[in-house]
Amino acid sequence: MRFIRHKTIDPKATEADLLAHYKNSGDLEVLGRLYERYMPLLYGLCLKYFKDEELSKDAVMQIFEQLIKKLKVHEVSNFKSWLYTLARNYCLMELRVTGKHEFVNLDDAGLETPYFQSAEGDDLTEMQLKQMGRCLEKLPTEQKVCVELFYLQQKCYKEVTDITGFDANKVKSYIQNGKRNLKICMEKNSGNE
């Protein structure tokens, strides 16, 4: 492993080298060097969500704080992709907590397609989000928990299994059935608003 002598980080060190070293040593300078590579991309992502330069700068620093803790417990094979998901989830949760739901066309913004779309394929409206929240509350507890963890918190099947203690096959079933029941509830109530 290429690396460190007297606090000098080899500029040719790979992401895997930096991650392994951070996991073994907890050296924040190493993690900072890795994170620096992605700060402009993360800032751009945060700016698309928050539409505010200062909030976006703060978010980039808060994401780093989360990264310090999360890398100690998660196995990461594709750091860039994992970091992007972490950053996106942070932004979504902040918007959810502050109640500032600003809707952007994710296709135009160059981001991924949302999980839930209306029948016309448009982005969700505030009314649809409220309706989805009500329908989510009507799901059986197991389905509700698994759907929230999988879709809203972006946990993988294994993480949902670990968090809930449910069997892996049950988790998949709860997610599939929960998604189906959520869709049925939303379709049934779409004209009632």
Amino acid at 139: L
Find tokens 């309706």 and name the residue.
Answer: 131
Selecting from 3.40.640.10, 1.10.1740.10, 1.10.10.10, 3.40.190.10, what CATH number does the domain 15-98 have?
Answer: 1.10.1740.10
Domains of the chain by residue range = 15-98, 126-189
User: Do the domains 126-189 and 15-98 match in fold?
Assistant: no
pLDDT at 191: 57
DSSP notation for 23-68: HHH--HHHHHHHHHTTHHHHHHHHHHHH--HHHHHHHHHHHHHHHH
Task: Please report, in tens digits, the pLDDT of each residue of the chain (193 residues total).
Answer: 444 444 567 777 788 888 888 888 888 998 988 899 899 999 999 999 888 999 999 999 999 999 998 888 888 888 888 999 899 989 988 888 876 554 444 444 444 334 443 344 444 466 777 788 888 889 999 999 888 888 777 788 888 888 889 898 999 999 999 989 988 888 887 655 4
- SS3 per residue for 152-191: HCCCCHHHHHHHHCCCHHHHHHHHHHHHHHHHHHHHHHCC
Q: What is the CATH number of domain 126-189?
A: 1.10.10.10
pLDDT at 2: 44
